[in-house]
A = this chain, B = another copy of it.
């Protein structure tokens, strides 16, 4: 058992287009496994696995209601993911800035 921390599980969950679509669908309101599976032409079992992955990433919560299972978006707003991406952008910008300065310096000493 490798025991991925939450951000790993989250990025991995978001790497699959089917799962991102499911999240977007759930943005319209909760749905059952059957309703989620139908537009993808995928088996119920297959969709249930995707939902499980999303639950593990705490992006989706589910509840058994009668014979159906209602799936809804969880409360996570992906703050950690967004924070990582933003830190990365800032880092990149700094690096490019420093590269720019370097070019600027080099300009004075050609050949």
Task: Specify the main secondary structure of chain A where it touches its partner.
Answer: helix
Chain B residues whose CB sits within 8 angstroms of the CB of A82 once the complex forms = 82, 85-86, 89
Contacts A27-B91, A27-B95, A86-B82; is A8 near B12 (CB within 8 Å)?
A: no
* Number of copies of this protein chain within its complex: 2
Q: Does A68 contact B (CB under 8 A)?
A: no
A positions within 8 Å CB-CB of B:
5, 8, 11-12, 14-17, 20, 23-24, 27, 29, 73, 75, 77-78, 81-82, 84-86, 88-89, 91-96
Interchain residue pairs with CB less than 8 A apart (7): A8-B17, A11-B15, A27-B94, A77-B89, A77-B92, A82-B86, A85-B85
